[in-house]
Chains A and B, each alone.
Chain A
Amino acid sequence: MARDPLRTKLCDMLGIEFPIVSFTHCKDVAVAVINAGGFAVLGEAMHTPDEISADIKWIRDRVDGKPFGIDLVLPASVPPTGALDELMTEIPDTHREFARQIKEKYDVPDPKGPVALHQWGGLNQEMARAQLEVLLEERVPVIASGLGSPVFILEAAHERGIKVFGLVGKTRQAKRQVEGGVDAIIAQGYDAAGHTGAMGTFSIVPEVVSIAGDTPIIAAGGVTTGRHLAAALCLGAAGVWTGTLWLASRESDVDMIVKEKLLAATAEDTSYSNCISGMTMRTLKCPWTEEWSKPEAPAVLPAPYQMLLSSDYIQGANDHRREDLMTEAAGQGVGFVTTMKPARQIVFDLIDEALTALEELTGEVE
């Protein structure tokens, strides 16, 4: 009898039915995916320790003991100084004027309230450590680090029965983390939403697999169909990490206007730019990204200055729900996200498509 090709070592490690990891900021999506047999990692980077604790309880109450993960953004570098008020005064007049011209050209409304900027800067480590303490205390099944290396918390996590995943954009980062003993690596390609490395998914996944030994590798970046899942398994991955796929799901708390934009978007509607934050990330194109890509635009400022500059546009667009201005992080696989479906249905569709794709290749899959 043929082996179930979708039963991978990631499934065995986590005790899940399908090798599908949903990365989401929405608790309802997470619970729906978990209860459909997949695995979900809830992005909590911007939440306070109390909020994280409450969210963990909320999920636990709804998944009947099934495992789940919490993702934090561990900083990997921090500048030597930086107080928000001081930084605001350091933005050059040329850049303020360019932002003002965009605001005027597109009639960008003022935010309804003070711009909700959180001061990370020198507080990066303090915030992250407080968040990590909650995850250790709560003994969440999986801690995932969306950026920096999580190796320093491995011993404390493993003592509590917690598994630790690290997301990487380069093979050398994966090698360092595998040597450090992480339980799984998410190899994220350039196709992904948000912060990505420079390597494409099709290149980084097999390269990381080749150095990872028995550590499960989870493929990320542009994964939105069962064919992507099948391809990832053929590349040696033990599962897929998916984000964009869930943004327009029925349970998702993303604004309906943005959901409709996502459903209509193709890969060419995404932009890989540093003009929103000063750090490169992939988002849906919007007037802000388009204007900053023009030759006459001033050079993008480094983080956090550029975010201080763009925050008025972003929040004004969101507060007034201006379809023509709003944006969202989205990967290049967004073109396959065309229907608003329940998360459970998305899981099952991925599995059906993957099995079909593998059957077409081998003719042996049951």
Chain B
Amino acid sequence: MSGAIPARTGFDPEIAGKRAECDGGGPIAGTRFAGRQEFTGTLTGEFVDHGDPPWRWYLMVDLTQKPEGYTADAVWCECGNLFIQEDGSS
């Protein structure tokens, strides 16, 4: 993630190991448009708070759903777009 914004890292044991879905996406490089991307995976509990007011991002790994061709096995998901699954555990 970007290091230019004042950031505070942390760990939330309450969510560590929980399965979650991320309604993700973002701006599309070179255009004025955006796109959606969906992920399902396991939260490590690691988070980063960017700036003030804090903008919280959680790390999701072991992705079982990700966009076609997405090569990484991890994604940072903004907390407002993160939905922990009902059963909660991995």
- B 66-85 binary contact with A (CB < 8 Å = 1; else 0): 01111110111111110100
With contact pairs A81-B72, A123-B2, A277-B35 given, residues A173 and B29 touching in the complex (Cβ less than 8 Å) = no
Residues of B within 8 A of A172 (CB): 23, 83
Pick from B50, B54, B78: contact of A76, CB under 8 Å: B78
Asked if B47 lies at the interface with its beta carbon under 8 angstroms from chain A, I say no
A172→B71 CA distance, assembly (Å): 27
A301 to B35 alpha-carbon distance, docked (Å):
14
Min CB gap B83→A, angstroms: 6
Contact A180 B36 (CB under 8 A): no
Most chain A beta-carbon neighbours within 10 Å: one of B27, B79, B81: B27
How extensive is the interface on chain B, given as a class?
A: 35 or more
Residue B55 is within 8 A (CB to CB) of chain A in the complex: yes
Count A-B contacts at CB 8 Å: 188
CA distance A150 to B69 in the complex (A): 28
A315: which B residues are within 8 A, CB to CB? Answer: 30
Q: Looking at the complex, which one of A79, A118, A301 makes contact with B75 (CB distance below 8 Å)?
A: A79
- Looking at the assembled complex, report how far the CB atom of A185 sits from the nearest CB atom of chain B, in whole angstroms: 13
B83 touches A77 (CB 8 A): no
Taking A126-B5, A155-B53, A278-B67 as contacts, is the C-beta distance between A76 and B77 under 8 angstroms? yes
8 Å CB interface, A9-52 against B: 25, 43, 45-46
Known: A279-B34, A300-B68. A73 touches B2 (CB 8 A): no
A81 to B33, CA, bound (A): 21
Query: In the complex, are the beta carbons of A75 and B67 less than 8 A apart?
Result: no
List 7 tightest A-B contacts by C-beta distance, closest first: A279-B35, A149-B80, A77-B24, A75-B26, A302-B69, A76-B81, A277-B28
Name 8 extra pairs, CB < 8 A, besides A77-B25, A300-B68. A46-B31, A76-B24, A76-B26, A77-B26, A115-B30, A147-B25, A172-B83, A302-B68
